[in-house]
Structure 1
Amino acid sequence: MGFWLFMFLFNLILPLMLIGFGRLFCHHAPSEINSVFGYRTRRSMLNQDTWQFAHKHIGKTWKRLGLVLLLSSAIAMIFLFSRKIDLVGRFGSLITGIQVVFLIASVFPTESALKQTFDEKGERKEPQR
């Protein structure tokens, strides 16, 4: 029971962080472009406009993704209640690995949106007619 509870809580950390940082970046992105905190890619750091756009986009993505991962991880772990420790450990580790894959994959839609909205110099593209 103790190890299951540990793995259950451990598997909620990343989804809760995604929700928290998603909310933060949607409403209060770092005001200045920096190399320490925030969504930092070459394209997002071109200028203030790309910086704000990227944070708002990744924030929305992370809020949704965090909620989906939170619910699916909790439900998956509930099915492991009262199971053997090795099964809980392996399955819990698999859940964490899947969460990390989704976290990494969440960068691609934001980079795609930046590429569609801005040119290589960070200037907004003219709307297609």
Structure 2
Amino acid sequence: MGYWIFMFVMDLLLPVTMIGLGRYFSKHAPKEINPLFGYRTEMSMKNEQTWQFANHYFGKTSYRFGWIQLLITILFMLPAIGKDTTFISIAGLILIGVQLIPLFISIAITEHALHKNFDSNGMPI
């Protein structure tokens, strides 16, 4: 049971992080473009407008996907209670791989929204 709890907590890290940072970015996006914290891509860092838009948009998207991931994680790991460590390890690793998909989708959706709303120089369309 101890190993299941460990893997369950590890599998919750990404959804909980996406929920927490998503909530934070959607409400309190970093005010200034900086090298350490925020949604940092070439397009998002063009100017203050793209920076604010991208961080807010990514925050909302990440927050939603985080809740979906949290539910999937719980439903996926519950049947593994009481199984051997090999089964729990494989289930946990598969789940982490699956969790990366919504993260990358959140990035792709945000980049698409940036390109839809701003030109290549970061000016609003």
- How many equivalent pairs are there? 125
Number of the residue aligned with 1:64: 64
Structure 2 counterpart of 1:2, one-letter code: G
Task: Percent identity, please.
Answer: 42
Which ranges in structure 2 are unaligned for 5 or more consecutive residues?
Answer: none
Could you state the TM-score of these two structures normalised by the residue count of structure 1?
A: 0.94
Q: Show the counterpart of 1:28.
A: 28
The 3-state SS of whatever aligns with 2:80 is: coil
1:12 aligns with 2:18: no
More helix by share: 2
- TM-score w.r.t. length of structure 2: 0.97
Provide the alpha-carbon RMSD of the alignment: 0.8
AA in 2 matched with 1:105: I
1:39 correspondence with 2:39: yes
Secondary structure in 2 aligned to 1:41? Answer: coil
Tell me what 1:115 maps to.
Answer: 115
TM-superposed CA distance for 1:105, in Å, is 2.5
Supply the distance in 1 between the matched residues of 2:103 and 2:112 (Cα, whole angstroms): 16
How far apart in 2 are the matches of 1:101 and 1:116? 22
Write the mapping of 1:71-86 to structure 2, written as runs, cut at 5 A: 71-86=71-86
